[in-house]
Amino acid sequence: MVKVTAAEVNELRKKTGAGMMDCKKALVEAEGDFDKAIEILRKKGQKIAEKRADRDSSEGAVIAKVSDDTTKGVIVSLNCETDFVAKNDDFVAMANKMAEIALGTSSKEEFLAANYDGMTVEEKLLEQTGVIGEKIEIGAFESLEAPFVGSYIHGNKIAALVGLSSAVDNAETLAKDVAMQVASMGATTLSYKDFDAAFVASETEARIAVIEKDNIELGRLGKTLKNVPKYISRAQLTDEVLAQAEEDAKAELKAEGKPEQIWDRILPGKIERFISDNTTLDQEKCLLDQNFIKDEKKSVAEYVKTYGDVDVVSFKRVSLA
């Protein structure tokens, strides 16, 4: 049997992160051949990966990185099976290193084939599956390019990237604030203008059906019924709809006995409330149409405009939750 020194075992351990005994066994089996020992550990990872292929890898670390020139960003989700592994410093460090590597690639396939300390990223994942004993994989890979890119990470569980149309003064603050909005509120599109009419129609029908069903139970219990909206998106609020809403508001004010000379002061608030009540889909799905989490008196679009001639052109979000 080939004798293996403690220094050789330690070197292999530093290289792979495997336990001391696993490194020693691999070196002995490889008859002292360092590269062969790494291959042995990798094959061990393949066997474990095959056995755990159907396991749920819903834990992990989500990392966002932005290039030095702030024109490109990536999000990489390095997934594992348990929160215990996800919180391990070495695991988080590996996730960060992989995100740095990802910055130099343009697709998940290119990223998995990229070099990671003499092996590919994909090979590193297999190696670490053997080392850790859990299913380790890339759960998500997102890339974004824009004149200015900013990021936000929440607890290594949610990450967001935001692309701006230009690098205005304090662009980093703006991009981070909007990325925080994306991470917190989970928008899926920029604006209600991006919605397909058929999608809005089907969502309206579905949401009204849910509220009407809830109201049957609320009525049975003698509780206040929920308001059943006619509309759920600004895309449905045509000039004609808004004009009718204004006429209805005037009729209410007249019925309440409010003097006509003060209607102009009351009507804007009523119309604003009408729009708010009838744009619930936009508030959920559309980034620019959401209320800004740091100042709910402003929409995200209004907040962005306080920075001057700049627009949000794109965003990405990855979450383990």
* Banded pLDDT at 228 (limits 50, 70, 90): confident
The pLDDT tens digits of the residues spanning 163-207 come to 999 999 999 999 999 999 999 999 999 999 999 999 999 999 999
Task: Give the number of residues written for the chain.
Answer: 321
Domains in the chain, ordered, with CATH?
6-51 (1.10.8.10), 59-168 (3.30.479.20), 192-312 (no CATH)
Question: In a 10 Å sphere around its CB, with 0-12 CB exposed, 13-18 middle and 19+ buried, how is residue 224 labelled?
Answer: exposed
**Cα–Cα distance measured from residue 126 to residue 110, given in angstroms and rounded to the nearest whole number:** 17
Beta strands in the chain (DSSP E): 59-66, 72-80, 115-116, 119-120, 137-145, 148-154, 158-164, 291-292, 295-299, 312-319
Q: Say what the pLDDT of residue 28 is.
A: 83
pLDDT in tens, 254-280: 999 999 999 999 999 999 989 988 999
Distance from C-alpha of 128 to C-alpha of 45, rounded to nearest angstrom: 7
Percent residues over pLDDT 90 in the chain: 73
Q: Find the helix or strand (DSSP H, E) in which 96 lies.
A: helix 89-102
pLDDT in tens, 6-53: 888 788 777 776 777 877 887 888 888 888 888 777 777 667 666 776
Q: Which two tokens stand for residue 276?
A: 């708010």
- φ and ψ of 225, to 5 deg: -80, 150
